Amino acid sequence: MTPNKNIRICNKGHRYFKSSDCPTCPICENARKPESGFLSLLSAPARRALENKGITSLRILSTYSEEDVLKFHGMGPSSLPKLKSALKEEGLSFKK
């Protein structure tokens, strides 16, 4: 065991260390990361934040304002430039 970290085992049997109460297995999370698309640009917490709100396309994302998106648990300000760029490439933008 490492300092302040406890060993965990996920439902799939992966063993990993975690210091927080977050139940997400980093091995499983890495395996389900998309290889392409705007969600592949984001960190796992930011990606989960959008997925948990049903935002799986840029068209859906464009119906939200930047302020709305920043309120999602797991979404941080460093993700906004990536999202803005992806929206712009498709001729879309955040809701004003």
Which pTM does this prediction carry? 0.72
Work out the percent of the chain whose per-residue pLDDT is above 70. 97
Percent of the chain scoring above 90 in pLDDT: 58
What pLDDT, on the 0 to 100 scale, is given for residue 29? 76
Average pLDDT over residues 53-65: 97
- How many CB atoms are located within 10 Å of the residue 56 CB? 14
Domain borders along the chain are 1-32, 35-96
38 contact partners, CB below 8 Å, separation of at least 6: 58, 61, 82, 83, 86
Q: How far is CA 38 from CA 21, 25, 41, 71, 96, in A?
A: 28, 22, 5, 19, 20
Please give the CATH superfamily to which domain 35-96 belongs.
5' to 3' exonuclease, C-terminal subdomain (1.10.150.20)
Q: For all residues of the chain together, what is the average pLDDT?
A: 89
What pLDDT digit, counting tens, does each position of 63-81 carry? Answer: 999 999 999 999 999 999 9
- Confidence at 2, pLDDT banded by 50, 70, 90: low
Does residue 7 sit in helix, strand or coil?
A: strand
